[in-house]
Amino acid sequence: MTTTPTATRARVARSVQRQGALVILVVAVVASTFAFDSFGTTGNLTNIALQASFLAVVALGMTFVIMTGGIDLSVGSVFALGGVLAAWGAQYGTWVAILLPLLVCGAIGLVQGLIIARGGLPPFIVTLAGLLFARGVLLLISDEGATTYKVPPDSAFRELAQGSLLGIGYPIWIVVVAFGAGALVLHRTTYGSTVLAIGGQEDAADLMGLPVARAKVVTYLASGLLAGFGGLLIASYTSSGVTVLGVGMELEVISAVVLGGTLLTGGAGTILGTLVGVLLLQVIKNVINQVGSLNSNWQAVVSGTILLIVVTLQRWLSRQVK
């Protein structure tokens, strides 16, 4: 049996799509460790993982959304709203701080999913409206952003993100468990198969009798819940509900998912790839901070440039696979 050049090229292209981000992450970490004395320290690497965990929670939901061929532009505002609601609710107890943002943010995701799946409206328009709605609610309850709610000093809610197990912060453990569960859902359930089928060819998935509409609703509901959960985690970590958080976060989340190998057109991607994409973005931020002479604006410039290169490369690789 012989392998044709076309088949070899397709196999290599497929490997680059799946593993390219991981190779870049390893190279970036090794190079940064040699370039900066403090980069490879346990404290710095732990800090990178901890800072990445808040973005990772939101990116997990976005991964499923993009796999369906959709987009969720509301996650940044929902993230901020979840944080403010959690900080406000903390004065009434830990469970209120946890359940209130999940209830509200889940409801936003559910409504968006119903409009997209049942109403047939484009995800871009629906979630853009969701972005404005969530930000508007946030400003209403915070008096145009003038009120910052503080988590009471004796609240057990603080422990959720400030506590640790075996020297590793709870948010990192939460991400490990959440991504493990996400991978199982994607690869071991009918829902996961349906998500990939919708992104590959929605009409074909519908003809096959797959629950397309239900899967879409569940996907946007999960995205809203995870964005709200990320918000309550950051509120626990900072002990406050900061209204300016989450601005532009949706683009950062999309970048992480695409960097991880999930196609913007849907139908392909991995949960682990998204985690790699999130870590890669966080390493870039850390390196820019290590340089010192570059301000935070360079983070957006570098991230945007890398995203453009990755999307272009994805397009080229997709043609090779075909």
Domain that holds residue 236: 43-285+295-321
CA–CA separation, 21 vs 24, rounded Å?
A: 5
In a domain, residue 244? The reply is: yes
Over residues 154-189, the pLDDT tens digits come to 889 999 989 889 889 999 999 999 999 999 999 999
295-315 pLDDT, tens per residue? 667 777 777 777 777 777 777
Task: Indicate whether 195 belongs to any domain.
Answer: yes
Q: Taking Cα atoms as reference points, which of 88, 151, 79, 145 lies closest to residue 108?
A: 79
The pLDDT assigned to 18 comes to 67
Residue 70 domain-assigned (yes or no): yes
Q: Is the pLDDT of residue 2 over 70?
A: no
**309 in a structural domain:** yes
Give me the chain's average pLDDT, please: 87
Euclidean distance between CA atoms 289 and 27, whole angstroms:
18
What is the structure's pLDDT at 265? 83
How much is the pLDDT for 246? 81
Residue 139 lies in a domain: yes
Mean pLDDT of 283-290: 84
Q: What is d(CA 94, CA 79) in angstroms, rounded to the nearest whole number?
A: 18
Does residue 34 lie in a domain region? no
Between residues 273 and 5, which one has the greater pLDDT? 273
The structural domain count of the chain equals 1
Q: What is the DSSP string of 64-94?
A: HHHHTT---TTHHHHHHHHHHHHHHHGGG-H
Segment 40-84, tens digit of pLDDT: 888 899 999 999 999 999 999 999 999 999 999 999 999 999 999
CA distance 121 to 114: 10
Tokens encoding 109: 């995701």
Within a domain: residue 20? no
DSSP run (H or E) holding 11: helix 5-35
One-letter identity of residue 84? V
CATH of the domain at 88: 1.10.3470
What does each C-alpha distance from 98 to 91, 197, 244, 287, 302 come to in angstroms?
Answer: 12, 34, 20, 34, 35
The whole-angstrom separation of Cα 226 and Cα 297 is 27
